[in-house]
Amino acid sequence: TEVTEKLEEVVMIWIKQIRQVLVESEQMRREADDIGPSAELEHWKTRMSSFNSLLDEIKSSRVKKIISILQAARSKTLKQWKEL
C-alpha cells in the first residue's frame, strides 16, 4: 500500500543516517591515533552523546509503531533494519 511505501522510505532514511554515524565513528578513530588524553576523552563523550540520541530515537513510540506496521505488512525493508 501507499502508506507502507511511505513508511519504508522513512525507515530507509533512518538506516542511512545510522550507517552514516557508524561510518563517521570508525573514520574518526582511524584518524585520531596520535591525539592526547583530553581529546580522546572529548571524542568518547561526543560519541556517547550521539549514540544515546540514536538509541533514544530508536526506542521512541513513533519508531516502534512504524516498525510494527511494517512487520504486519511483512516489509522487506525490516531485514536491513534488523541488520543494524
pLDDT digits (tens, 9 = 90+) for 18-75: 998 888 777 666 655 667 788 778 878 988 898 898 889 899 999 999 999 999 999 9
C-alpha closest to that of 81 among 66, 26, 72, 1: 66
6 within a domain of the structure (yes/no)? yes
Domain count, the chain: 1
CA distance 29 to 35: 10
> In whole angstroms, what is the distance from residue 45 CA to residue 5 CA?
37
Q: Give the CA radius of gyration of the chain.
A: 16
In a domain, 32, yes or no: no
pLDDT at residue number 75: 94
Containing structural domain, residue 11? 2-19+40-83
Cβ-based neighbours of 25, under 8 Å, separated by 6 or more:
47, 50
